Amino acid sequence: MIQCADTKQHPPPAKPGEGLLNSATAILTIDLDAVIANWRRLAERVRPAECAAVVKADAYGLGALRVAPALYAAGCRTFFVATIDEGLSLRPLLPEARLLVLCGVMPGTADEFTAHHLIPVLNSLEQVEAWADRGEAALHVDTGMARLGIEPTGLARLGGFRPVMVMSHMACADEPGAAMNRAQLEAFGRVAAAFPGVPASLAASSAIFLGPEWHFHMVRPGAALYGLNPTAATPNPMGQVVRLQGKILQVRDVDSPMTVGYGASHRVARPGRIATVAAGYADGLFRTLGNRGHGFIGGEKVPVVGRVSMDLTTFDVSALAPEAVQPGAMIELIGPGHTVDDLAAEAGTIGYEVLTALGARYHRRYLGGEA
């Protein structure tokens, strides 16, 4: 039997993940190679000090289970988390790494620390006493933050306790001219001298750039690894890690006297077009971005108009050609021309809060880090 050829036009088979991208209302792209490059840049800067990595708060919202193994493969061997649960989630992926828990030992958790080879950062005399001789522990000494840490006057009560590391944290490192930076450096120098032969660590991201005096034996960058500017008064020395795109759901014509969004906070003054994007404050686009934030389409800046709502944000796209703004097109919310720090400034906050608020509804796409 002669069979007729199928003359119907069939679409090419979907590539893996393509269907998810098509259905995604917003896409968060995280460049693991950029995270690795940032860590290497800092490691070279502080040599011979060790460069650790702070991956607390789910690697500042970017996914610790993806970020930490990529950094370990690149050569990082020491990681800091905030809570024991964060350490427990990473231990199976980093069986040989040093994992330090910044919040220390909570009552009833000491056995879990020892069973999973987690190193507590002890923050009080009570924690030191509770830990006793269970194994390795770091010691946090407060040199001016009045947050966590043993006061320097309490060091005399430690007896023969010898930590594997002594550390402190800077209060004003992002302000290079702050007098407190030098005061904390000198205070920590006296603390480190009280523990001869014990590795010392003072600098997180911004303090790395204060100079070699602040590096001691180890630095602990977090924000800088993820592309935030650790030197606020100068151009960002770190590579950008994050790109966030929101999909346009609808474009509509507007004219005076129409208003846009809750509270009618934006009044239309002339004929134009409004694009509604599927991302809102439930996704980490702060409500304070209403009538002051921006996005980009094809490199063109488009302002947020009206209030940001839970699931939606509206942009004025009147200046763009209609064919450039159609349902299904993407508005860049974070990217090379509109960084996390830029978005934070518009929202009246800091890049740390923007990153850690990135929502769970985004379709997350990781690039690089295969090694």
- Whether 43 and 8 have beta carbons less than 8 Å apart is answered as no
- Whether 286 and 307 have beta carbons less than 8 Å apart is answered as no
- Under DSSP, the state recorded for 128 is H
- Whether 255 and 283 have beta carbons less than 8 Å apart is answered as no
Residue-wise burial string across 60-77, b where 16 or more C-beta atoms lie within 10 A, e elsewhere: bbbbbebbbbbbbebebe
> Catalytic residue among 15, 262, 301, 366, which?
262
Rounded to whole angstroms, the maximal C-alpha distance in the chain is 97
Question: What Cα–Cα distance (Å) separates residue 72 from each residue in 40, 86, 277, 312, 358?
Answer: 12, 16, 37, 38, 24
> Does 15 qualify as catalytic in the annotation?
no
> Does 362 qualify as catalytic in the annotation?
no
> Catalytic residue among 56, 60, 72, 226, which?
56
Give the whole-angstrom CA distance, residue 94 versus residue 65: 10
Phi, psi of 307 (to 5 degrees): -80, 145
> Is residue 17 exposed (0-12), middle (13-18) or buried (19+ Cβ within 10 Å)?
exposed
DSSP symbols for 62-115? T-HHHHHHHHHHHT--EEEESSHHHHHHHTTT-TTSEEEETT---TT-HHHHHH
Task: Kindly state the helix (H) or strand (E) to which residue 52 belongs, with its residue range.
Answer: none
- Please identify every residue annotated as catalytic: 56, 262
